[in-house]
Structure 1
């Protein structure tokens, strides 16, 4: 049995069929070991009787013998494995990284079950028993195990931090309460915790409610956007259907007109041809008669006959008669008519578009702190014009001194807004929006790159959009009132001729990342021709 105390490796004690430690170990005649049930079942389902290990074939199923030595080794190995498993279950209480260790254990540190706020010590199950049984220790406050218990001690008095000072918003001990925090609002930690918890829960609930309301607001906005999209689609379909029908109608009319003209031409040609063929027939008849009389030698008779044949010959002059195409200009006239139809439909669309943007009208007033010293503004902040005298005004940071301009008081950093400015009677002006960070102290380039989205008028009829590069504008009429619309998120700035309901120009793909302000420049008086003010007008939907 001494050999039984020797345990081979685990691999040597595994059945090659079930790959587990041998159970009822038996040996075949070829010397290989298997579980009795495994080898028996293997041979029951196999076509041939052979060893699974060495493949030696047997004519008849061999007798299986018990290998006493290996059976004892397997049994001993199984018992050892069970003991290790039992031992590992008790070792689960041993302190592991990330857990709080027992402060009392000296050799193997066990996992702490509780920490005492009075003793400032963490205990495992064994060392915790006195706190559960001794009357004096039962009154100590136990909590789930925590690290760094020394941080719970007052650094000044070396006493537990048991109170909370609402005045200074800090944890204090009893000695702090009667000394430095004597006149402060001090409460027990539990009360402070419950108060903070209630306040935090309230704040969280309010935040949740605000976000729920925001969700509802967003959903409502999506619903409105969907309705607006449906309306836009319906209007677009209606317009394009009308245009399509107009094009098809124009095409049909064009084809019919050309065909009718071609038919008229063909009928006229047929009449001419018929008349010519009739004359040819008559002439051939006369030619035949001439040939008939030429056989006679009676010259008097012949001469008299010729004279009668000359009576009433075909006299029509066909030299100037011709057939001309009458199709020239038909297509051009049809396209001109189609263009007129397109213009009418386009005007309808622009009128509808202007009405939509006018819904975003805001009350804009001029900001005196930004006005150039030569500008004169009305008391209500709605009118601005150029003055001859430069006023002595403080050169504050907001004031524009590079150009004779003034900004609006109101700033915009999201959404859409619209305002209208009367420019009637002026020969020069600048209008638009600018970003907050423009250089206000020197002359600057009016371009989107420098933070300006503006249009201007010069010499009474020269309109220009200060894009990159600048764009000269050809307008059918001279605007008397200009509407300015901005969609911050869309990056869009559009200018409208309000009275004509026409689009003047649009800046698209703009990048806005700071506050925007309305921009007004009434320009110089131009010898009195440009003395009229720029007037911010109330928006009235057409």
Structure 2
């Protein structure tokens, strides 16, 4: 036998929209109160509990409890549920209540002709209610910049500029979209900058590796050249030694032969002195006397090289000194030039009245706005520009400036503000930057809006800037035949520093190529 389908809607109280708790019947046979026949009773009838109906309702409640999701920590609770609260899914802005799925369905059925405005369940429902009138905050007062209800709009905010919250949201969404567009543009630019920086790092690594390999190769060739020179000198000395020794050995053989001959004659003379034969004595004595005269005419024996060994030793010593001096001077150039910093100006930061030339190493004030695109990093009020490169460790750079108004020579954190006319955007007027202000008539140093007046150096148009980031030292010197200090500050740098410049009216500044003074 097929089971009849029992609908939960048959057991819903039309007042509280929940299942009946203790269903009773009245004489007409209907459930209290009677919505079907509208029959009235006088006197009031006695109520009798419908036990069978109560059992059906209890089963429906158990089935409903199994299907419903109880509210957990952080969930919005249903305002209608009794006992254990279930998780709310919707909130009604008219009834000002939150409903679980079951009670929300009952809410929709109870208001079939006039649909209420509902939103996803929220804990902020009470904050959307006017505390004074307990009405929905559906009006925004632009005069007081606050949300109000309709009664507030007709009362104390009567003469104020008011719009609906929907209209205000539309306006705010327009501004939000513009902010979002700029934010996305900045993200894209920063991603592009990051990619460029990564490429620059990789390029620098490749360049450094090439420089190391070239240096190793050149030093190896230099060492080999010195080794060849050493071998040549050694071989030259050995060759001369061999020639001189060979010549001396020939002379030694002749001397040995001569000594042997002389000793033989000496023996013969000793024997002759003992002979009694006068004729024999005279004949032999005359012969030996002639030989003795011949021997006495022999040249003196000397040993000599083709060149002086002392001269060789002296020449090698001089070569060593010259080589050491040359290497020392060249190493000084290499090390000093490695401390100098080759900078380029960043077009994305330059004010539109500053023209960049010379491969972005010269900046000049101009009355004609430059066709730079809008960029979040650009200074829009002050005539300023930053360099692309940051400086760290120990380094320095040089610049030349011209003009009657002057320039500002600065270092700044990249986080300095760029938009507006506030001090937070001006080099030296905030805690983000340090600046030396130069003009033909005055010099001063600025940091955190504090000025230090300085004596004006004579003919100071070329300036060298030293930075020791880890030591927190920033120094400015005028460059001429000698290096003259202008100002030094000791501080603590917490971020990478970017060189920056202020260029006054009809003034210009040029970053100098490094030259050893």
Alignment match of 2:151 (pick from 160, 171, 175): 175
> Aligned runs of 1:376-455 on 2, under 5 Å?
380=404, 409-414=408-413, 436=447
* Structure 1 portions without partners, runs of 5+: 1-82, 365-377, 383-407, 422-430, 444-455, 457-479, 519-535
The alpha-carbon distance between structure 1 residues 128 and 231, as it changes in their structure 2 partners (threshold 3 A), is: closer
1:467-497 Cα offsets, whole Å, 9 max, x none, are xxxxxxxxxxxxx976435486998979999
Secondary structure of residue in 1 paired with 2:295: coil
Task: Return the TM-score normalized by structure 1.
Answer: 0.51
Instruction: From the superposition, tell whether residues 491 and 264 of structure 1 become closer, same or farther in structure 2 (CA, over 3 Å).
Output: farther
Q: 2:72 is matched with which residue?
A: 96
Please give the alpha-carbon distance, in whole angstroms, between the structure 2 residues aligned to 1:129 and 1:410.
Answer: 71
349, 357, 362: which one pairs with 2:342? 357
* C-alpha RMSD of the superposition: 5.2
Q: Is the 8 A contact 1:414 1:489 kept in 2?
A: no
1:247, 1:500 → 2: CA distance? 37
1:145 is displaced (CA, Å) by: 2.4
Task: Structure 2 unaligned segments of length 5 or more: list them.
Answer: 1-58, 346-360, 365-401, 415-432, 501-507
- Whether the 8 Å CA contact 1:357–1:485 is kept in 2: the answer is no
Partners of 1:255 and 1:418 in 2: CA distance: 59
Alignment match, 1:513: 494
Change over 3 Å in CA distance of 1:517–1:241 after alignment to 2? closer
CA distance in 2, matches of 1:114, 1:418: 59
SS in 2 for 1:164: strand
Q: Secondary structure at 1:261's aligned position in 2?
A: helix
Distance in 2 (CA, whole Å) between partners of 1:241 and 1:417 is: 43
CA distance in 1, matches of 2:450, 2:110: 79
User: Number of paired residues?
Assistant: 353
Q: Counterpart of 2:189?
A: 213
1:311 aligns with 2:293: yes
Q: Does 1:484 align with 2:495?
A: no
Match of 2:127 in 1: 151
TM-score (norm 2): 0.53
Q: 1:339 aligns with which of 311, 321, 324?
A: 324
Residue matched to 1:251: 227
1:328 matched residue in structure 2: 313
Query: CA offsets per residue over residues 430-468 of structure 1, 9 Å max, x none?
Result: x9x98937998899xxxxxxxxxxxx9xxxxxxxxxxxx
CA contact (8 A) 2:465 2:476 kept: yes
Whole-angstrom distance in 2 between the partners of 1:440 and 1:240 = 50
Cα distance in structure 2, aligned partners of 1:483 and 1:231 = 27
Question: Hey, what does 2:116 align to over in structure 1?
Answer: 140
**1:72-111 alignment to 2 at 5 Å?**
90=66, 92-111=68-87
**CA 1:141–1:438 in 2, change beyond 3 Å: closer, same or farther?**
closer
Structure 1 residues 274, 498: closer, same or farther in 2, change over 3 A? farther
Distance 1:216 1:499, change over 3 A: same
| Structure 2 CA distance for partners of 1:438 and 1:202, relative to 1, 3 Å | closer
